[in-house]
Amino acid sequence: MRLQKRRVVGASVVAVGAALALAGCGAGQITQTNTMLPAVNGAMAQAGKLVLRDAGLVNRNDCQQAYESGASAPLTLVIANDGTADDELVSVSSANAASATIEGQKAVVAGSKLLVGPATEGESVQQPESSSAAPTSTPASGSPTSPASASPSAGPTGQPTRIGHAEIVLQGIKQVVWPGQTVPVTFTFRDAGPVTAQLPIQAPTVELSCQPSESAGGEGH
């Protein structure tokens, strides 16, 4: 009789232990999920009233998608000015690039946006109307722009402004950049100052038909 009771008690202890172990495992998973950042297509950063959104390196739209050492990498992002005063993009730099070039508009008009990205062939740069003073930079001759630059938007004074467009290219990549990796890029503005963002390679903009390599096969877990 005593032996039978001991067996019942022992089975109960094992069951409780197993339940606690499962609960602990589940709690750990929930905690880890809460600390994980959601996957996004681009980086976000802020300097004063300027907000950088969807910042990244333009995808090469090929099967490799990586930027090799010595390559040039164009950037794509949106710089929004939520303030009441104009600002200006002074320079762009990266620890993983020899230099960076800025073509097109540098002024970030108050209450408007500056679109950064490769131009579409056949388009031309259009300067927006400044809400305070004329931009100090002159657009490169013949530099193309995005169709969005021709769309008016309401500025802080209620007057229509034009969304600007610029092209930023990192020159001389020092180390290979693969999809999933990020590149530190610092944007320096005249008034807002510098802000550094970790830029990933953006997702492809076209459907890629890539054949897996012979050595790509892996073993199951």
Q: What's the rounded Cα separation, in Å, for the pair 67 and 29?
A: 35
Phi, psi angles (nearest 5°) of residue 50? -95, 130
What tens-digit pLDDT sequence spans the chain (221 residues)?
555 555 544 555 444 454 444 444 444 433 333 333 334 479 999 999 999 999 999 999 888 889 999 999 999 999 999 999 999 999 999 999 999 999 999 999 999 999 999 986 545 444 444 444 334 333 333 333 333 333 444 544 454 456 899 999 999 999 999 999 999 999 999 999 999 999 999 998 888 787 765 544 445 44
Q: Which domain holds residue 141?
A: 43-200
Q: Are residues 20 and 50 in the same domain?
A: no
Q: Are residues 165 and 195 in the same domain?
A: yes
Q: Are residues 141 and 74 in the same domain?
A: yes
Cα 5–chain centre separation: 64
- State pLDDT tens for residues 150-194: 344 454 445 445 689 999 999 999 999 999 999 999 999 999 999
Beta bridge partners of 93: 186
Q: Are residues 156 and 57 in the same domain?
A: yes
Q: What is the DSSP string of 155-208?
A: -TTS-EEE-EEEEEEEEEESS-B-TT-EEEEEEEETTTEEEEEEEEBPPPSS--
Q: Is residue 207 domain-resident?
A: no
Q: Are residues 61 and 157 in the same domain?
A: yes
Q: What's the rounded Cα separation, in Å, for the pair 27 and 46?
A: 34
Looking at the structure of the chain, the number of domains it has is: 2
Q: Are residues 103 and 140 in the same domain?
A: yes
Does the reported pTM lie above 0.75?
Answer: no
Residues 20-51: b if buried by 16+ CB within 10 A, e if exposed: eeeeeeeeeeeeeeeeeeeeeebbebebebbb
